[in-house]
Amino acid sequence: MKIDCVELREIRLPLVRFFETSFGRTTTRRIILVRVEADGHTGWGEVACGEEPFYSYETPETAWHILRDYLIPWSRSREWASPSEVAEHFRPIRGHNFAKAALEAALWDIESQRRGIPLAKLIGGTRETIPCGVSIGIQSSIEELLEMIQRELDSGYQRIKIKIKPGWDVEILEQVRTRYPRIALMADANSAYTLEDLDRLKLFDRFYLMMIEQPLGWDDLVDHARLQREISTPICLDESIHSADDARKAAELGACMIINLKLGRVGGYTVARKINALCAARKIPLWCGGMLESGIGRAHNIAVSTLSAFTLPGDVSASRRYWHEDIIDPEVTVTPQGTICVPQIPGLGFVPNLARIEKVTVRKERFE
Ligand code: OSB
Ligand code: MG
């Protein structure tokens, strides 16, 4: 593969409804799209990091800088046998995983067109449908939250995740469980607690949650291992897992029983496949997390969700939950059974809508 040209674009997409976590509220997404031309094909990737350095240290500005000054020139330096070879070449650059993942994703899109194999198949995926859950942000009232849960259950979603933080946790879960005693329910704290909150965290066991996601420090493994010994609710790690080594160490320490994998957070498909193999061998269930992606990131999330260890419903849901109009055709839709059908054609399986993308672009730069 020889890369002829790379184009970066920043787009702004207003969310249908704000999304609030323990670290803040998002109303409009700033997303960087990476478009690559190579061997007569065009591939797309998405930088899905947050607008602010609150989920991770990356922001659209840091990603633009790392792509423009390092990843794009490095990727154009020679020919490559596979996208994984490019990922290996990026190794000396520490971190900046969301930026790396976006460029690598565009190359996998191209490779899948070049080889005439659907993207999910090319990366080694085995599923034709993926099970879907939803992530519901912090609301202004419990009534609003209960209404939203009902709406998502009516749409068929297989599990409900609610965001929690101190002051929006035990009492909220109590009411949700009273109303819905049998649903698959979980809670995501986005690092809002410390071991000082151990007594409060122990109360969560009453709600027989599928898991509690990232209760403690965003880069911690040791305290999570301690917490897992004290509670029966399975811990799922999100923010703390950036590499296959992190996943192995978390398993060895007993820091979690489940892992949320995000392509951007782990730096792309090559690492995601390594984590998949490791988790399959150690029987650690995986599921695909979300970063409020546009259709392009969402299409890549669908592909990665087909890997064998992705046995639990992910946070990959329908375009209409996020956008009045997505930037791909067709939009991502979810069946009444709460599944997404994996595209069976070469490439991403969704076509970027260029006119729509042009309309929401606020800056672009081309590298030839
Ligand atoms: O922690 O999983 C998270 C959104 C932004 C940042 C972090 C997270 C989330 C979500 C939303 O939970 C998942 C989605 O619907 O895309
Ligand atoms: Mg999370």
pLDDT by 10s per residue, the chain, length 368: 999 999 999 999 999 999 999 999 999 999 999 999 999 999 999 999 999 999 999 999 999 999 999 999 999 999 999 999 999 999 999 999 999 999 999 999 999 999 999 999 999 999 999 999 999 999 999 999 999 999 999 999 999 999 999 999 999 999 999 999 999 999 999 999 999 999 999 999 999 999 999 999 999 999 999 999 999 999 999 999 999 999 999 999 999 999 999 999 999 999 999 999 999 999 999 999 999 999 999 999 999 999 999 999 999 999 999 999 999 999 999 999 999 999 999 999 999 999 999 999 999 999 99
Q: Which residues have C-beta atoms less than 6 Å from ligand 1?
A: 21, 55, 135, 188, 190, 238, 289-292, 315
- Model pLDDT for residues 253-296, shown as the tens digit of each residue: 999 999 999 999 999 999 999 999 999 999 999 999 999 999 99
Q: How far is the CA of 368 from the centre of ligand 1 (A)?
A: 34
The catalytic position among 100, 161, 165, 262 is 262
Pocket test for ligand 1, best of 27, 292, 323, 326 (most atoms within 8 A of CB): 292
d(CA 236, CA 357): 35
Torsion angle of C-alpha atoms 256, 262, 268, 273, degrees rounded to 10: 50
Q: How far is the CA of 116 from the centre of ligand 1 (A)?
A: 32
State the pLDDT at residue 318: 98
pTM of the model: 0.97
Peptide bond into 330 cis (omega under 30): yes
Neighbours of ion ligand 2 (CB under 5 A): 188, 213, 238
Order of strands, edge to edge, in the sheet holding 258-261?
133-136, 159-163, 185-188, 212-213, 235-237, 258-261, 286-288
Considering only CA atoms, give the Rg of the chain: 20
State the pLDDT at residue 269: 98
163 is catalytic: yes
- Model pLDDT for residues 148-180, shown as the tens digit of each residue: 999 999 999 999 999 999 999 999 999 999 999
- Nearest residue by C-alpha to atom 4 in ligand 1: 291
The atom of ligand 1 lying closest to the CA of 239 is 1
CB atoms inside a 10 Å sphere around CB 308: 14
Residues whose CB is less than 8 angstroms from the CB of residue 277 and which lie 6 or more positions away in sequence, other chains included: 309
364 is catalytic: no
Pocket test for ligand 1, best of 315, 316, 326 (most atoms within 8 A of CB): 315
With left for phi above 0 and alpha for psi between -120 and 50, is residue 268 left, alpha or beta?
Answer: left
Return the ligand number nearest the Cα of 319.
1
